[in-house]
């Protein structure tokens, strides 16, 4: 077995009064976490109450999740009561999507005391910790940012959120008669064309970007020293017409849903994403609907613009997280957000999943008959620039070229024409979380 350098550290304190062990994790939870978890697996904490603080965890990958799952499963068999604290936005969603949250209980008095105190008082009684776990004294850390913003009408009290256990895997799957939408035929080919030419397909964020894409394409050709053939297409139109290509495109700029399909089905690699570009969902009802919480909409007719969208995926995710089983919701796809809004207002639907950006752009008159029940703040679903796996050697030059556009005049001009602030390289755990959402609801 290969040994990996440990990148995860665990510090432990104990509160004698509440008989609670607090474990502070710092660093990365990856394959090397097995070495850090092994002492705790071999000798679990003596206390029945264990609080795990994730505030200083920088990232978690799939191998690390497997190691953490093994530890939590063992502890549950030992009868320990576990609480997760200071989960940031990314970790919170990752734990929910992978089912890890089922191992953690909500804070109660004992855990809250430890969370507030942070450690045993100096000079107080100490308890022996498992080998490899360092006892320390440290201040408590605040919890991570929220994932949703609840919108409440004036004069109506905000509903108190209840702890909702994650649904089992079968309950999260799409109905049997609703298979995953097929990938457009244009991506059916196995490999890009041989030689120096690179086909580049762009699904624009908006119709004002065309000049910017052609200008950026010229800059990329100079950077890569290759011919890049740009084609601006709408993936929905491509799927409808069924047109196919002789070769797969080497580069694709795609909406998050289509990007996930390409990564999942054809192994495309995420290269970069625009800054400040995220799909978020607003869950909207008619203004005169008396229901105040999502859990009140069991069996309600849902309408949204497109099935192949992360607006629909995120809408389902937040329904499930708020105690409303999304598999039991009949849904209709109107083809556009305006058509979906009209269906809500006319009474043909009770709950609308709409992009938050689209809702904000509506006129005051168009919004007058609606009320926002929930609004996501995930910041994970964005357009992605993808690279065919056979062109992997171009990934780093492309990332350097795109993230460096703001450093020279021509690059700044390209960004201005595209209406972008710049490009970022997506973190692996964010891509993994995006794919987990896709697999759960569409894949």
331 and 256 part of one domain: no
**What is the model's pTM?**
0.67
Question: Is residue 92 located within the same domain as residue 224?
Answer: no
Output the pLDDT for position 174. 36
119 vs 59: which has the higher pLDDT: 59
Determine, yes or no, domain membership for 100.
yes
Q: 374 forms bridges with which residues in the sheet?
A: 150, 283
Half-sphere exposure of 268 (CA within 13 A, CB side): 30
* CB of 78 closer than 8 Å to CB of 109: no
Per-chain mean pLDDT for the chain: 80
Calculate ∠ Cα 147-153-158, nearest 5°: 55
How many CB atoms are closer than 10 A to CB 315?
Answer: 26
> Is pLDDT of 185 > 90?
no
Residue 165 included in any domain:
no
Residue 412 lies in a domain: yes
Asked if residue 270 and residue 352 are part of one domain, the reply reads: no
Q: What is the pLDDT of residue 187?
A: 58
Assess if residue 166 is contained within a domain. Answer: no
3-state secondary structure of 170: helix
Shared domain for 113 and 230, answered yes or no, is: no
Same domain, yes or no: 390 and 272: yes
The pLDDT confidence band at residue 197, using thresholds 50, 70 and 90, is confident
Map residue 345 onto helix, strand or coil.
Answer: helix
Per DSSP, 99 falls in state T
Give yes or no for a contact between 181 and 379, defined as CB atoms under 8 angstroms apart.
no
The answer to whether residues 76 and 32 belong to one domain is yes
Q: Residue 268 maps to which CATH number?
A: 3.40.190.10
User: Rounded to whole angstroms, how far apart are CA atoms 282 and 315?
Assistant: 8
**Residue 169 is assigned to a structural domain of this protein:** no
Write down the pLDDT at residue 173: 31
Q: For position 64, what pLDDT does the model report?
A: 84
Residue 1 counted as domain residue: no
Contact between residue 275 and residue 352 where contact means Cβ atoms under 8 Å apart: no
Regarding whether 296 and 199 lie in a shared domain, the answer is no
**Does 239 lie in the same domain as 117?**
no
Confidence of residue 68 (pLDDT cuts 50, 70, 90): very high
Question: What mean pLDDT comes out for the span 169-186?
Answer: 41
Domain stops at, among 376, 391, 408: 376
pLDDT at 340: 97
The percentage of residues in the chain with a pLDDT greater than 70, rounded to a whole number, is 75
Is the residue at 149 inside a domain?
no
User: Into how many domains does the chain fold?
Assistant: 3
**Confidence check: pLDDT of 49 > 50:** yes
Phi, psi of 12, deg, nearest 5: -125, 140
Does 58 map to a domain? yes
Q: Is the pLDDT higher at 397 or at 165?
A: 397
Q: Which two tokens stand for residue 252?
A: 């694709």
Lowest mean pLDDT segment, chosen from 87-91, 174-178, 329-333, 433-437: 174-178
Whether 96 has a pLDDT exceeding 80, the answer reads no
Alpha-carbon span 437 to 378, nearest angstrom: 12
CATH number at residue 62: 3.30.750.24
Instruction: Assess whether 22 and 124 both reside in one domain.
Output: yes
Q: Pull the structure tokens for residue 429.
A: 């755990």
In a shared domain, residues 24 and 125: yes
Strand ranges of the sheet holding 134-135, from the earlier edge strand across to the other edge: 81-85, 49-60, 20-29, 8-15, 134-135
- Shared domain for 270 and 329, answered yes or no, is no
- Its domain, for residue 415, covers 185-277+381-441
Helix count and strand count (H, E) for the chain: 15, 17
Sheet holding 331-333, edge to edge: 148-150, 370-376, 281-286, 351-355, 302-304, 331-333
**End position of a domain, from candidates 135, 159, 193:** 135
CA distance 333 to 346: 15
């Amino acid at each position: 077995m290969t040994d990996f350098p440990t990148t995860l550290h665990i510090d432990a304190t104990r509160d004698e009064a509440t008989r609670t062990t607090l474990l502070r994790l710092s660093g990365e939870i990856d394959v090397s976490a097995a070495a850090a978890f092994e002492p705790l697996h071999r000798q679990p904490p003596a206390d029945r109450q264990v609080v795990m603080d994730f505030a200083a965890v920088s990232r978690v990958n799939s191998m690390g999740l497997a190691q953490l799952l093994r530890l939590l499963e063992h502890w549950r068999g030992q009868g320990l009561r576990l609480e997760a604290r200071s989960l940031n936005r990314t970790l919170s969603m990752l734990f929910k999507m992978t089912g890890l949250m089922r191992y953690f209980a909500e804070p109660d008095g004992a855990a809250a005391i430890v969370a507030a105190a942070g450690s045993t008082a100096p000079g107080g009684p100490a308890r022996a910790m498992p080998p490899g776990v360092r006892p320390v004294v440290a201040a408590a850390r605040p919890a991570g940012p929220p994932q949703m913003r609840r919108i409440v009408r004036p004069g109506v009290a905000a509903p108190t959120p209840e702890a909702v256990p994650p649904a089992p895997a079968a309950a999260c799957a799409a109905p049997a008669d609703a298979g995953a939408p097929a990938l457009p035929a244009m991506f059916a080919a196995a490999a890009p064309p041989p030689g120096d030419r690179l086909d580049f397909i762009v699904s624009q964020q908006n119709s004002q970007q065309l000049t910017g894409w052609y200008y950026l394409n010229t800059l990329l050709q100079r950077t890569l020293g290759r011919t890049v053939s740009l084609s601006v297409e709408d993936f929905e139109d491509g799927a409808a017409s069924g047109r196919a290509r002789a070769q797969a495109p080497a580069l694709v700029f795609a909406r998050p849903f289509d990007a996930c399909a390409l990564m999942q089905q054809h192994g495309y690699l995420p290269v970069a994403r625009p800054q400040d570009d995220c799909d978020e969902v607003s869950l909207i009802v008619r203004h005169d609907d008396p229901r105040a919480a999502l859990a009140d909409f069991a069996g309600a007719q849902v309408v949204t613009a497109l099935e192949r969208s992360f607006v629909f995926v995120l809408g389902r995710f937040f329904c499930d997280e708020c105690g409303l089983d999304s598999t039991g919701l009949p849904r209709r796809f109107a083809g556009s957000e305006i058509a979906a809004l009209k269906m809500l207002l006319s009474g043909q639907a009770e709950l609308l999943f709409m992009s938050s950006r689209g809702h904000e752009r509506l006129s005051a008159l168009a919004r007058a008959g609606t009320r926002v029940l929930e609004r996501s703040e995930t910041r994970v679903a964005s357009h992605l620039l993808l690279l065919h796996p056979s062109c992997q050697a171009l990934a780093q030059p492309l990332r350097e070229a795109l993230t460096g556009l703001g450093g020279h005049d021509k690059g700044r001009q390209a960004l201005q024409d595209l209406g972008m602030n710049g490009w970022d390289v997506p973190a692996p755990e964010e891509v993994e979380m995006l794919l987990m959402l896709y697999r759960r609801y569409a894949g």
